[in-house]
Structure 1
Amino acid sequence: MDKEQRKRKRPEEESTRGASSSSSISPEATGLRSGQYDVFLNFRGSDTRKTFTDHLYRNLVKAGTVPFCVFRDENSIPIGEEFGSEILDAIVRSKISIPVISENYASSKWCLRELVHIMECKKSMQHIVLPIFYKVAPSDVRRLKGNFGNAFHLRRERYDEKDIQEWQQALNEVSYLHGWESDKFEDGHEGELIEHVVGTVLSKLQEDFQLNVPKQLVGLDDCLKNIMNWIDSPSFSARMIGIYGMGGIGKTTLAKIIHNQLSNKFVHVSFLPDVRESTKRHGITYLQSQLISDILQSKNEVSRIDDGINIIKSRFKGKKVLILLDDIDDKNQLDALAGERNWFMVGSLIIVTTRNEAILDQSEFEVDYKYELNGLDKVHALLLFNRHAFPMDHSPKDFDGISRDIISTMGGLPLALKVVGSYLYKKKE
């Protein structure tokens, strides 16, 4: 290759290096699972790969109790290689795209091609686009003005007119979307912006990370309404809700529903199921380790209860948390996991289920709201039994009397009604 050829190649090299596309993806780096992604990052590598986008990526993959699958390339497209179909597939297989539109973004045809496909997916499917205007104004993106516009126009003669029109249309459309301007958000504090973006992504994806609750829910509407009304009241501290009642009455189910309705308002969430049994099998330090790992998104193996307490009360103070402690049966468990109100940031919510009301009364946290869950009335008990035994809302005529006799022996206990009803399903005799 002569000197003149090398000169001609250099601009093309600069325009491809650092685009967000790549033909090789590391599953470990992206959190790949089953070919699906939660987030696709579209960015100009030479502008933000080692700075803003790197911090955003690392915060995204650590967010949530289940790690997000985030598509971000580690290598630029080799010079001369065509835009890969796998990149377009990755966009289609993502739920959310985040274009990080920076000053030199429009100088990369790869970034612009991705953006066109992102905007097409937004129109044709339930694809969410959350743009970040990094040190550029949306109006400059829209009108191709300022340094952003200069980056585009400097490369314009190298592009086909058809491509130019598509790119201009995509840039115009994305500039009108609700997103974030890095210089204006929290006076340019990028850490605050990243935290807000991650929180928004968590909220958008929350349905994929809901706790599992039975499909056949009966008789919980009034309970839920009462508790949610209390939660919606103003608060100037961390709060604790206690739900108590006999085993099998539906405490865990009610707590999970509350958790699912609130979780999109929290970045830091933890659910510790069956604390009573887990303590017997593994000890309280096991539960402390799990709680700390969920909230801090880092592995912390606690060997002593006092160490766990110290980590929780020192490291959780700056985080608004939602924690569900299911089936607490000893005050020591509560003291080790959520001992005092001042361990947690204002706005935090701790939900505790227990069979023993006295544990709530003994808590040093001082439970703010207690709700006793009772058995179902006869109408709701019959409805729940019928849905599992037949399944429909009413018993067949020949079985109505038998159904009523069965539910009268169960005291409105949802778990018993579900188990017996399911056992009798399709039984002929």
Structure 2
Amino acid sequence: MKRDLVLAHNSVQTNETSARRKADDASACSSSAASTGSDNYDVFLSFSGKDTRKTFADHLYNGLVDAGIHVFRDNNELREGEKIGTNLLQAIKNSKISISILSQNYASSKWCLQELVEMTKCIKSGHVVLPIFYHVEPTDVRNQKGSFGEAFSCLSRKYWEDVEKWKVALQEVASLKGWESEKTADGHEGELVKVVIKKVLSELKKAFQLVVTEQLVGINNVVEKILRLLDDNPSATQIVGIYGMGGIGKTTLAKVVHNKLSDQFQYSSFITNIRESSRCNGIFNLQNQLIFDLKGRDQVSNMDDGIRILESRFKLKKVLILLDDVDDHEQIKAFVGKHGWFEMGSKIIITTRIRTVLDDGVNCKYELQEIAKDKSLILFSRHAFRRDFPPCEFASLSHDVVSTTGGLPLALEVIGSSLCGQNQGFWQDTLKKLQKVPHKKVRDKLMISYDALEKEDKQIFLDIACFFIGDDLRYAFYMWDACNFFSKNGD
């Protein structure tokens, strides 16, 4: 999520800003931050330039950027005529995470301490602050003692009116869970950088989880079953396929599972609507998306190149991949052809309407069933009435409408939403229509499965749906065999 900025500095204003900052901050505390209030960033990095600008802060900054995290430094990205203090404080508000590298001279900088005060204010609104105690003790930061305290005392004599709020901020940040540079990873700074990046990615994934409807009913038990299947062999790449009819909630289920697992993986990808997208744009474009999501740099122009890149470049990456709406063996082959493509412990979730697509290369298959009648009424009521059960005057009509959906979540959601706020007359007319034909949105969704059938299979489907309801199927098989429909090959 990197953004190119056009930078223009007015020489007079830049010199004034520089002089003002030098007067206030001899230690030249620098921050990686937003340049204007209109820009949003992942991380605000606060540090003492005197201590860490060319060492740890630089390594951490570049590591974050290489991981695809949106961070930048104020000394490179200040716009013309803007007050540096205002910019930096606004940047904190517009960032999701702040990292403060609390080093010996951090407290000798008015700018660093002002940034710290703003960070603690933003915690109340969900902002995450991650402190790194760089060659200082957390207790020295909390109580302003030792070399850290000496630097703070010198600054305090100059800006006595700000001392109390600085102390409160230092106490609060020192109480947060962070890292001590000399104790984390045995003091190896390169390893500490990796630990911090992993934590940042984990926090960002919480903010960028896949969007799932809040009106979920009866899904927890199924989610636990899928998680157990995915964890069946932690030392190997585990591929689990979820299959079922259109509109039954396969994608929603897979998204919930993905969100449950996402903070365990540095690399993840959600390839949506593969059936349609591969036909419209080509499978190689979806391969490019997967390569990009896994932080690859290659671009491919055909499926074979995509397979070659995926097979050779990601063996050392443990990944979480969700392949949504697959309808062909070749699609699975194009994305995850063999279990050895990724590091052991990788997890891959596939959704499909067609069970036989999962016959090759998938560890486990799970058929998603319609939801029970009592759960159907709850889901329907949440969309129709914004509550778990219908009011008395709509109870009978609600039961009748729910009975037409066959426990299909899509139908319950669509029909419930369409009836929300309507009078009983409208409900009665809708019920009469539903008893004859499904709702249009539901019908369009179900037609996808029908349209994908071969000509003979369509005939068999229509015979079953229209003529052989409740009949002995042996008679039907005799007829289909006589018509050369190869009914025994049907799924």
1:111 alignment counterpart: 112
Q: 1:253 to 1:76 in 2, by over 3 A?
A: closer
1:353 alignment counterpart: 351
Q: 1:404 to 1:72 in 2, by over 3 A?
A: same
Q: Is the 8 A contact 1:25 1:74 kept in 2?
A: no
Q: Deviations over 1:383-406 (max 9, x none)?
A: 323333344433455544444344
Q: Is the 8 A contact 1:255 1:351 kept in 2?
A: yes
Secondary structure of the structure 2 residue equivalent to 1:130: strand
Q: Deviations over 1:405-424 (max 9, x none)?
A: 44334322221232233333
1:131 alignment counterpart: 131
Q: 1:424 to 1:396 in 2, by over 3 A?
A: same
1:48 alignment counterpart: 52
Could you tell me how far 1:73 is from its partner in structure 2? Answer: 1.3
Distance 1:191 1:68 in 2: 18
Q: 1:391 to 1:420 in 2, by over 3 A?
A: same
Q: 1:173 to 1:210 in 2, by over 3 A?
A: closer
Confirm or deny that 1:85 pairs with 2:86.
yes
Q: Deviations over 1:322-354 (max 9, x none)?
A: 111001111111111111111112222111111
The TM-score, its normalising length taken from structure 1, stands at: 0.81
Query: Which of 226-235 and 413-422 deviates more?
Result: 226-235
Q: Deviations over 1:93-151 (max 9, x none)?
A: 444221112343233232233224434544x5544321112344435545666665665
Q: 1:116 to 1:378 in 2, by over 3 A?
A: closer
2:97 alignment counterpart: 96
Q: 1:158 to 1:212 in 2, by over 3 A?
A: same
Could you tell me how far 1:17 is from its partner in structure 2? Answer: 6.0
2:204 alignment counterpart: 205
Counterparts of 1:211-290 in structure 2 under 5 Å? 211-231=210-230, 235-290=234-289
Counterparts of 1:152-171 in structure 2 under 5 Å? 155-156=154-155, 159-163=158-162, 167=166, 170-171=169-170
What is the number of residues matched between the two proteins? 404
Distance 2:136 2:173 in 1: 13
Confirm or deny that 1:303 pairs with 2:273.
no
1:4 alignment counterpart: none
Could you tell me how far 1:76 is from its partner in structure 2? Answer: 10
Gaps spanning 5+ residues in structure 2: where?
A: 1-18, 427-491
Could you tell me how far 1:158 is from its partner in structure 2? Answer: 6.2
Distance 1:114 1:323 in 2: 38
1:379 alignment counterpart: 374
Q: Deviations over 1:238-293 (max 9, x none)?
A: 21121111111110000011111111222211100011111101111111100010
Secondary structure of the structure 2 residue equivalent to 1:20: strand
Secondary structure of the structure 1 residue equivalent to 2:239: strand
The TM-score, its normalising length taken from structure 2, stands at: 0.72
1:337 alignment counterpart: 335
Q: 1:232 to 1:400 in 2, by over 3 A?
A: same
Q: Is the 8 A contact 1:16 1:110 kept in 2?
A: no
Gaps spanning 5+ residues in structure 1: where?
A: 1-8
Distance 1:16 1:302 in 2: 51
Secondary structure of the structure 2 residue equivalent to 1:371: strand
Q: Is the 8 A contact 1:20 1:72 kept in 2?
A: yes
Distance 1:170 1:410 in 2: 57
Secondary structure of the structure 2 residue equivalent to 1:292: helix
Distance 2:184 2:135 in 1: 11
1:383 maps to a residue whose letter is I
Could you tell me how far 1:49 is from its partner in structure 2? Answer: 2.9
- Within the candidate set 313, 338, 354, 1:315 is matched to 313
Q: Deviations over 1:174-212 (max 9, x none)?
A: 344321123332233333322321222233333321211
1:414 maps to a residue whose letter is P
1:44 maps to a residue whose letter is S
Q: 1:134 to 1:278 in 2, by over 3 A?
A: same
Query: Which of 92-101 and 403-412 deviates more?
Result: 403-412
Q: 1:172 to 1:377 in 2, by over 3 A?
A: closer
Confirm or deny that 1:325 pairs with 2:323.
yes
1:3 alignment counterpart: none
Q: Is the 8 A contact 2:27 2:105 kept in 1?
A: no
Q: 1:399 to 1:164 in 2, by over 3 A?
A: closer
RMSD of Structure 2 on Structure 1 (CA)? 3.4
Q: Is the 8 A contact 1:240 1:351 kept in 2?
A: yes
